[in-house]
Amino acid sequence: MQIDIVRASLDLLDYAWTPRTTLQRPDVWSVEEDALWRERYMRVDDTNRDILAKAGMERRQAQAARKRR
């Protein structure tokens, strides 16, 4: 469904000749799926805490290195 939405968005660029042009999609988001991604999105727990801490440290070090240049 995501690919279809992206395609429709790109098609809208071709069809939208005036401001406020809208396109309605027939897609319906499932309530169950909606709840599942919300529970997992940006979740920090024991299974990923070390990986996220390491990634954060590497990002901060890279930013500091760029500032020193």
Q: What is the mean pLDDT of residues 36-60?
A: 92
Q: What is the pLDDT of residues 6-45, one digit of tens each?
A: 998 898 888 888 888 888 888 877 776 667 777 888 899 9
Domain positions in the chain: 2-68
Pairs from 28-37 (Cβ < 8 Å, separation ≥ 24): none
- Cα–Cα distance, 23 to 5 (Å, whole number): 11
pLDDT in the model for residue 16: 86
Q: What pLDDT does 33 receive?
A: 65
Q: Decide which of 50 and 32 is more confident.
A: 50
